[in-house]
Structure 1
């Protein structure tokens, strides 16, 4: 009898341990499934564009080759030049031997050929053209090397710690790396130039149309066509980097950015990004507070030539929350900096702080809407007289 009782006891304990192990493994699998939206990726991240809030991440600070996602920074510097007016879309660029020699993805530019900036920009944004990237870099900075220096300067300006570029294209190079987090932050900055999606959302187009050298552009980012709301940004592939993608999509005023790196196949890459976008739009909502360029307050400086210059939002401002969460305690406050004259249009003069109760939601730069010059002696004298007149 004791022998049978011992056997039954051992069996019960064994079954209990087995059940505990199964439950533990089942719980781990369930948890992993709920969190790992990009199982095939070496790293990934999902953020909301306006706030920069992270919805999901996986080894997001792991240094990896970014391949042609490098061109997100290339495009950012191009868009800055266009916005400053130092580069115009109808400017004609003569293609150098160096630019024409680029391998990999290209639009097959010939040395000595001339093409306008607008078409070269399409080549970069749609077809990931290495030759067009170098041609634009040489036009802006004089050489690709100097342009790369500017890329790395911009990396530092954005406060990114784990990115270093050696070229404008993403072609394999030693010590050329980035991370999913850093790529998302670069994409966030690029999307502040809202016209970029006019290019990155193109699925197909033509260069040199109706000529003997007509070239068919097809977007390397197939989600532009097959996922509603996707209008950018940049794919990447090399044998070392494998398949990468930084994608952005907008739905109901919420714009998100998803990045995956190091995926074995384009199908798995697109599936991972689609999963991340589905998760974002199914789980979160945003409340739009201010549009980019919307006036927030006015700047009245005693020693300025112009009175009451608008202070505007440097970019669109929203708050992000999970569906069903309360956002009734939202407050905004303006913190103005001490400034020195003169000021140029777009110079930062303060911060708009958004809170939900005591929780900090976002801090967004505020900039001046137009140039502000120092007041002339005549203006200062006139103001003094006006003030004296009022007091009397």
Structure 2
């Protein structure tokens, strides 16, 4: 199918005095690899060896949690197996044959970094750690994290268990759009949830939540091979910064430097409004002939001062679509460019549902068209 490309320049009037000068080249991070991205656009705002393949320790559990949330039910009852209760490393201390809700295990997983919770969750969702790990890798590919391989739900050092800072940022940006995941990762203390009273009280070992303003996640990690790792989420008025630090001798300060850098060197400008028509699509075989393509919410993109006058947008979408069409179905993409470099991609969604016409309606329409042929 051919795609139509539409390009036009946005002339943006903003107050330039709030912008910093050109971004600095080095912020002296104490880690092997790092990245900070804008959650919605995915734009990389600063990076260091962001494509290096590295072990990621317990930041693995970000994927464990999102797969479990999407495939399980928070009120499911999970029985702790001998494999889960005997796992080494960071654990909550669950006992063999103990029964807990999946919800409580997710809090134990994210807040206490429980390897025992990770095993129990994997066995409950997929029947085995091995099968669950395959789901994790498949989900990474679905998200667009193509340089990631999971061999466990906990992240202890294993062969062929790795990611990149850029992939881990993509995974986290995706996960933080899930309300349940975002709530769990930002919680500091809890002893009950939707499933009822928990068997234990939990407090979050993520020190960044207590140290940095507007921090709302996400996950720590540390092993012999991976070193100290950390993924942070920091809210701003237009979304979130996702900061990833792998193998760091000062992970809290590295994360702070990344968030500070993003805040200092980038400002958000509005690209599109939620109610703005992006493209009108012709629909074949549907109860309606046309459908509007819109965006999910107001779009803001982080830019530097010297990029302001170079911002443009291109719409990539098919000329026609075929029924049936679901409401909020993705029909194409809006890609934003700064200095001819793509800096953000956003889905275009349908504003309504269009059902397929039945056979009689299609036949009637065809006969009508034939009757008009001269």
TM-score by length of 1: 0.76
Inter-CA distance 360–164: structure 2 relative to 1 (3 Å threshold): closer
Confirm whether residue 45 of structure 1 aligns to residue 35 of structure 2.
yes
Instruction: Measure how far apart 1:89 and its partner are.
Output: 2.4
Are the counterparts in 1 of residues 61 and 154 from structure 2 also a CA contact under 8 Å? yes
Aligned residue number for residue 246 of structure 2: 261
Partner secondary structure for residue 131 of structure 2: helix
Q: Does 1:60 align with 2:42?
A: no
Alignment of 1:156-175 (within 5 A): 156-175=141-160
- Does residue 203 (structure 1) correspond to residue 188 (structure 2)? The answer is yes
Q: Deviations over 1:251-285 (max 9, x none)?
A: 22142111111123xxx210111111111111111
* Larger RCO, structures 1/2 (Cα 8 Å, 6+ apart): 2
Greater mean deviation of Cα atoms: 308-317 or 67-76: 308-317
Residue of structure 1 equivalent to 2:257 = 275
**Aligned residue runs from structure 1 range 127-146, under 5 A:** 127-146=112-131
Alignment counterpart, residue 228 of structure 1, candidates 191, 198, 213: 213
Q: Which residue of 1 aligns with 2:284?
A: 302
1:94 correspondence with 2:82: no
SS at match of 1:301: strand
> Would you say 1:352 and 2:334 are equivalent positions?
yes
Quick one: which of 100, 117, 126 aligns to 2:111?
126
CA distance in 2, matches of 1:313, 1:131: 41
Equivalent of residue 377 in structure 1, options 359, 363, 370: 359
How far apart, CA to CA, are the structure 2 residues paired with 1:67 and 1:146? 19
- Which deviates further from its counterpart, 169-178 or 336-345? 336-345
TM-score by length of 2: 0.79
Partner residue of 1:25?
none
Q: Could you tell me how far apart the structure 1 residues matched to 2:342 and 2:227 are?
A: 38
| Structure-2 separation of matches of 1:327 and 1:232 | 34
Judging by fraction of residues, say which structure has more helix. Answer: 1
- Three-state SS of the structure 2 residue aligned to 1:42 is strand
* Paired residue secondary structure (2:233): strand
> What's the counterpart of residue 362 of structure 1?
344
Q: In 1, are the aligned partners of 2:286 and 2:322 still within 8 Å (CA)? A: no
Partner of 1:80: 70
CA RMSD of aligned residues (A): 3.6
Q: CA deviation at 1:374?
A: 3.1
Higher strand share: 2
Label 1:319 to 1:91 Cα distance change in 2 as closer, same or farther (>3 A). Answer: same
Bigger CA drift: 309-318 or 193-202? 309-318
Offset of residue 168 of structure 1: 0.9
| Uncovered stretches (5+) of structure 2, i.e. residues with no partner | 1-22
C-alpha contact (below 8 Å) 2:311/2:336 kept by paired residues: no
